[in-house]
Structure 1
Amino acid sequence: MVVDPGPSSGPGGSDLFAAGGEVGRIMAAFDWAKTPVGPVQGWPASLRFAVRTVLVSKFPMVLTWGPEHLQFYNDAYAPLIGAKHPAIGEDIRQTLAEGWDALGPPIERAMATLEASWLPGLLLLLERAGYREETYFTVSHAPAFGDDGRVAGMHAVCTEVTGELLAARRQQLLHELSTVGAQLGDEDETVTAMCSALAGDLLDVPFAAVYLSTENGTYRRVATMGVDAGLLPEQTDGATLVPAPDSLGVTGGPWGDPVTEAVVLPLTAGQDGEPVGLLVAGTSPNRALDAEYRTFHELVAGQFAGAVVNIRAFRTERQRAESLAELDRAKTTFFSDVSHELRTPLALLLGPIGDVLENRAQPLPADVRDQLELAMRNGQRLQRLVNDLLDFASIEAGRATPVRVETDLAAFTAELAGVFRSATERAGLRLTVDCPPLDRPAYVDPRMWEKVVVNLLANAVKYTFVGSIDVALRADGDRLLLTVADTGVGIVADELPHLFQRFHRVPGSTARTREGAGIGLALVQELVGLHEGTVTVTSEPGSGSTFAVAIPFGRPDAAPTGAALAPSEAARGEAASWEEETSRPAGGAPGGAGAATVLVVDDNADMRAYLTRLLGPHWTVRTAANGEEALAAVAERAPDLVLTDVMMPRIDGFELLRRLRADPATRGIPVIMLTARAGQEASVEGLEVGADDYLAKPFRSAELLARVRVVLERSTGRAAAPTAAPAAAAAAAAADHGETRRPEPTAPPPGTPVQRPEPIPAPRTSVPPVGRPADRRDERWRLPSELSSIPAVRRRLRRFLTDTGIDEDQAYDLLLAACEATSNAIEHAQEPTEPFVEVTACAGAGQVEITVRDHGQWRERVPSMDRGRGSTLMSAFAEVTAIPSPEGTTVRILATISAG
């Protein structure tokens, strides 16, 4: 659009200040005749236009004119100088005298060289509120030209970024404190280390001292930073700080001003908790102690309080653990009672689910049936675990007694082994069952024997990856001998004596899964012992293991029931669960076009299937069963995010993370750790090795989706080059973080005829269309009309513009414009006929063209607070045209290529 500037003499005095708001009224009433620029009627046209441009802008602007640096500014600029407003017509060197050492040189350079300056986050000393204030501004200075084409003054655009920089600085300190305070070591050492970490932000905490509570109700000094410890009392009652802060001789702030104030905060565990200490923190002499500053101090105190409370709780827990041997009987009773209590809600869960699944009269939708079967399998798995715990508790309490009955043990054992055949075949193993009829009756408790056989077979499947599993039953004199041999990973000799201990796991052992309570083999030993038998193991690492169970033929404890013995539902459920575990990872879910790729790594097949179903509608999902498979999948094609379990066989989640971070090619891939290991120590361990987030099971699906989305968008934001103008940078940040309020979309110029845009094909192609030059590049994408598509647009366009050879700065500008257009299309195109946006990028003949098309009618979802900013932003970088039609709107961004 071309704007007619009017007569060459510029706007007249009557309307020059009309659009300037409060500052315009001040300028209109000002006696300019007493200044070097003289009466308004005599101003040159260049000054008139410059002043009018400043006044109508909604962005903070200031104009200086003449060698006297007389200043003109707008309403948006007035708050930046605080109590010094109004300063219209005054020398800016006097108004900003305290900060002129920083501002003067770039202004003079811009006026001398005719090149604009760009100063992001410039530290300025201002006295706008009655004290020497630490402030930060992003400023650009450019020369202002007179009618004769010579430099007549300076034109500056600025925005205050003090809040953002202070928040980032303080957030970094809080992060450091959290990391240091996570160490559950000696209380004094941890507090001293945290106090030393405060030195990383002396601008906000010039000095500090930490006092911890004692048994007599006083507080003892433990650590100091930035101040001579001898000047502070060794003990205090907490009522006063002696001596006063201004007598400690501490300086602070960017300019070394004396520190005269400090805050004293109690270190409490929760709102109603007793104080465990005090934090004395000096305040910056160059920042007002406002609400944000006070909140920062409270967060710092919270970090200290949390660390002390955790250490003391850990110490108490350790002392309690030393007396656990005396509570063994109570623990056994507890397991028994809890197991009984869990059986009732489990029955009320599994019963209705089973009834619904078995109801053939009202068939379920396929997806509902899949989810209920998943719940049923894992509920049965929990039931088996509860039963094992109950059995173990009963055995320890001496309440478990086998009821031996005459049993066709050969046939029963063969049938029990047979239920694992599907699992072994799916795992690629050969199952051999050699159980010939015995020459005399055997007397065992059938359900106890079933647990022995099932646990040994499950253990063999868990640790065998190639080869075979052999089950054999023989008579050996007066005893029965059951052997379960495998060609699995084997066990080192040092671990064999501990193999049948409760909850013992062989460290570093390779298994199909790390899941399990660690009581299977211990339960086998106890059950065999109740039959007056023994269980032994021989093993060689890398060759396999052989478990041998020897029991007497026994004697009957009860008459046979006459019912045929068959594997119980619990045994079949255990075999079915291993059938799931030995399944190879599914191919994943394709997600939407252009969606980010998430690699799910978990050794539990049901968990992989659940996460795939949960994430699939939003992103492309690939799966792996352990860290080893995950590394191979990453090497084949790098994902946008890795979602991994921690406890896995072969390569666990921590080792997977370490290897990804150690490789430059995969160092930048974000990783979320998902694990059953809950608690602060576990999460800190994950974050310390480089995880982007850490989520404990069980989790809410909405929370997981939110965390995945945030990490993906944060990762995309880190990849963008931080070299944009302030408004553009703010827009890019908003797009990266998925803010729901966007600038108003670019509207077509008045009178633009409604045109029907050419349809854009959905598939992406890089082949030049017929009739176009061979050097022309075309790429097209069709993405869901969701804010989660913005990062995908940014990634693809960035690659396209880089491959095209476009200058980095221009590429960044075009990315901002395209993302603005895409976010507008997503947020403002209502009731679309197709839930997609289509983006095309073409480059050739010295131009690059990006179009964004939606399939709805534009209107704002919420009233815009920054009306027109999106249009202004896009138009600043390229020629933008909006073409509405009944089928949707196409926004066309055209720019001449600036070679890099």
Structure 2
Amino acid sequence: MAPDPVAGTGIQDVAPGPGTEDVFAGGSENGRLMAAFDWSTTPIGPVQTWPASLRYAVRTVLASRFPMILTWGPEYTQFYNDAYAELIGAKHPGAIGDDLRITLAEGWAALQQPVEHAMATREASWIPQLLLLLERAGYREETYFTVSHAHAPAFGDDGEVAGMHAVCTEVTRQVVAERRQRLLHEVSTAAGRREDERDLAAQVCAALAADPLDVPFAAVYLTGEDARLHRVATVGVDADALPATARGAADLRGVDAAALHVPGGPFGDEVTAAVALPLSGGAGREPVGALLVGVSPNRALDEEYRTFHQLLAAQVAGAVTDARAYAAERARAEALAELDRAKTTFFSDVSHELRTPLTLLLAPITDALAESGGELPAPVRDQLTLALRNGQRLRRLVDDLLEFVSIEAGRTAAVRVATDLAATTAELAGVLRAAAERAGLTLAVDCPPLPRPAAVDPRMWEKVVLNLVANAVKYTFVGGITVALRPDGDAVVLRVSDTGVGIPAAELPALFERFHRVTDSPARSREGTGLGLAMVRELVGLHGGTVAVESEPGSGSTFTVRLPFGEPDSDAAPPPSPAGVRAAALTPWDDDLGWRGRAAEPLGTVLVVDDNADMRAYLTRLLSPSWTVRTAPDGEEALRDVARVCPDVVLTDVMMPGLDGFGLLRALRDDPGTRAVPVVMLTARAGQEAAVEGFDAGVDDYLPKPFESAELLGRLRAVLERSRGRRAPVPPPAPSAAAPTLPPRRPRATASSPETMPLPLPPSRTAGATTTAWRFPSRPSSIPVLRRRLRALLLDAGLDDDRVYDLVLAACEAATNAVEHAQDPVEPVVDVRVTLDDGAVEIAVRDHGQWRERTSSMDRGRGSMLMSAFADITAVPGPAGTTVTIRSPRPA
């Protein structure tokens, strides 16, 4: 029990205190309220009877701007200032002069012990973040205060204890904010450990269980394949009491939280409210789920509480989105791995299947050359040698592919035997010496004897050396190549250096990946599988070694292979050195032709452009009975050849190092002196799209590989005849109601084909308009000529590339229809008239046959739909033909 205070005992203070009128002075709101209060109704009596110590204490409390309270006497009569009045909310001003134990009855259980202890022992208390239950806002509120209690003496420092003096500040917002921040961190940490979204939801709920004060209960719903929400995890509530599914977060807002009978908050009050928040899937995406969260019955659902809920939902949504993205990426990786396994199996099976026919092809050719090569006619022997050479190349590619697949599948292991690596390396590098010298390069081999044999698989070492040296020859145009072998401690180091084109720094990290090729890098050939360097890395890795590259564009590259000397796996003697390996299998660009033929009376001169030496040799042999053949390994060399003597026809491959086939075609078309030279393209890219690309570029004819030799000869002859105008001129069309009569053509000196010469025209209909007309034979080979002439005309007129492309496509579609669908033409020709003026472009295409109607309308099928997509189309049928007119506004 606290000692009886002075008041009520008759004891008076010795020193006089402030006057009655000065006790509540100072201008505070509470001072005015206390001055007006009838203190005679309280246990301490009227102000005039107060002891000086009480008066001083009251003035001290009212003068402070920090929350302070004073209780006096055994009934704990209260005095407090304006700052404290804000803390007790609705209890003010009723608490003035009242018993503290009554006004704070709900929190007295927490306050009684420290208050009585301070009064009994005269020791001040210090309690940070004291939890108090207050009913200051109409509900049982969870609050936190940092408070200090001290005794209030009656007679100075040595007087008896008359009451309690407390200083306090509310820290509820800080405490709750820190607690919620910790919970958000726990949720994010739980989310970072899982990738399965259902397991993730369980982890999130486990984290929420750590803070029942802010989250009395929660449930995580995720969207399923049916686009509905499905309950996947709960905490703090019986899961069966919540809906198993919902259409959306709005449905969950109808959940009756009070019916769940869940206790919440620090005082165990029943939860009566809950919020449902959608889990956003990101900007522009559907929600990935919803979060149902109970609201604490002891905290108001204010802006801070709502912000916490939003942050919590964002954390859960982000975790679910990440989990789904991770799962999708994992599924994609698994699918890619499965696809990779399928490709590996496919390549393995195909490679095995190719070996049998290759064996049956190469063995008879080899036997025939070995047994009867001297008796065979030279042309036959050359053909067989060419077939054998490319068969060996194909076998090597198949072997490389099969071995790479086996390495990736883990079915290949290095069988190391003691090997004189210096002699073996020198001999392997020498295989490519002749090819390097024909390319104008020097090949220096610096392989002095090693102090001891190295344990390597000779077959694998052969592939390593040959791939590196062949690559050096392929990408080096000037200078030379150095192959050096040196011991380095317990390892042997092979360096293959060149003075070639070098490798850009951005390409170096991916250089040893399979199928990777440096784009736009000059090379002697574009042939190859892209497996060479990848195989080098794998084979070196099987020996426990490493391979690295240093390169500078324009200066060259150095590949460094480092292998441990190692111990042999077998005592068997190494297999014989592959001295008979043909360099031709590694250098398909190498020119080593042993023959060239030429006709006594050639049709003309054809320039063959191809980076594959064997293809040049084959085409030379095929064409020389009828043509004078010249060859070039790439487009740049071809242009230099054309500058010396212009050929009658150019036969070019598409994919070549340096200047490719399309670049060569553009260069020929841009030069007035070579614009009329017909160009025929050969390409390994088959299909209609490839042909359309070639014809759009202005090629005269286009032939995919592999091709029949008779077809190539026939097409070259046809192209040459069109170029020279050997066919008789076609007479002009007869007059008809469908098209105006054209005057007879007048020949003029030009390099163009007579079949496509502009026709003289009557005066234009509009002043300033220009009109050009052509007449073509009614056959498919006329379409490329029309395409090239029309494109050049429209570009010269200043039309943009896109509009030119659209108009050329529409006009060629109309001309194709005229060639293919006109029945029994009066004249086997197609007339094309192009009119350009300031307002529009008009292209008229006329045939001289009868159309077989598909419907009662003039719908000519999908072709007319295609043309209508680019311009206004009209079709005018007539007894002697149909005229299709394509009209399009001319861009400014």
For this structure pair, what is the TM-score category when the shorter chain's length is used for normalisation?
0.3 to 0.5
Q: Output the TM-score relative to the length of structure 1.
A: 0.43
Relative contact order (alpha carbons < 8 A, sep ≥ 6): 1 or 2 greater? 1
Instruction: Kindly name which structure, 1 or 2, has the bigger radius of gyration based on alpha carbons.
Output: 2
Q: Output the TM-score relative to the length of structure 2.
A: 0.44
